[in-house]
Amino acid sequence: MIIDWNHIDTVLLDMDGTLLDRHFDDHFWMEHVPKRYAAQNGIPLGTAKESLYALFRSQERTLNWTDLDYWSDRLGLDIPLLKLEVEHLIAVHPGVVEFLLFLRQHGKQIWLVTNAHGKTLDLKMRKTRLGPYFTGIVSAHDIGLPKEEVAFWGKLQQTVPYDPARTMLGEDSETNLGTAETFGIRHLIYVSRFSSTVHPLPSERYASIHYFHQLMPPQGTTAVCLEP
């Protein structure tokens, strides 16, 4: 796959797992929340995990999955407050800032497009200070649809006036890349190293990268070649 930056005007970037290390989110939902839930309800940690994991799965690919207010009400826990307890785990992937600077220097429109809830966005932008690098930030909660639905990408155009044929999307979700592909977004990049704690596996369907510096061409050129 050839990425020629002369053919790209707009770059849409996911947040968790794409720009930020997903270790924070995985640890929070799979370990920290069950621990606090077990303590509050006086049940074994294993029982809490079994119950919560099933509950979490029931809301996958919906806006509830990332709605902190929904989970606070559902679990009887102050989820935003609990996130502050482990905010030290929030981290930017290597090469992200350099890539964002590259995009700005070449006049690209850079949009953070995420399923994350507004309260999560506020926390992570404050912690990482990435906000100023973007042309704008859009949450799926503002659109009213998750990125897992093809219709999301059409509604997004009401906020981000992008041409799908001249747009790149960077994601750690093959599902979301699939809905974007169905809508017609041309340049699709899978981020295989979504967490610092997992062994990265390339996508069998989309061009894959470990880090965003792989998309930056050598000085004096405009294109890079990625393995399929």
CA distance 13 to 168: 8
pTM for the whole structure: 0.95
CA distance 72 to 228: 42
Strand, coil or helix: what is 209? strand
Q: Residue 29 contacts by C-beta under 8 Å, 6 or more apart in sequence?
A: 56
What pLDDT is stored for residue 228 in this prediction?
Answer: 60
Q: Residue 23 contacts by C-beta under 8 Å, 6 or more apart in sequence?
A: 89, 91, 195, 196, 197
What pLDDT is stored for residue 11 in this prediction?
Answer: 98
**What is the DSSP pairing of strand 207-209 with strand 187-191?**
parallel
Beta bridge partners of 189: 170, 207
- According to DSSP, residue 77 is labeled S
What pLDDT is stored for residue 226 in this prediction?
Answer: 87
What pLDDT is stored for residue 1 in this prediction?
Answer: 84
Give per-residue pLDDT as tens, 113-159.
999 999 999 999 999 999 999 999 999 999 999 999 999 999 999 99
119 and 141 Cβ atoms separated by less than 8 Å:
no
What pLDDT is stored for residue 219 in this prediction?
Answer: 87
State which residues of the chain have pLDDT below 70. 228
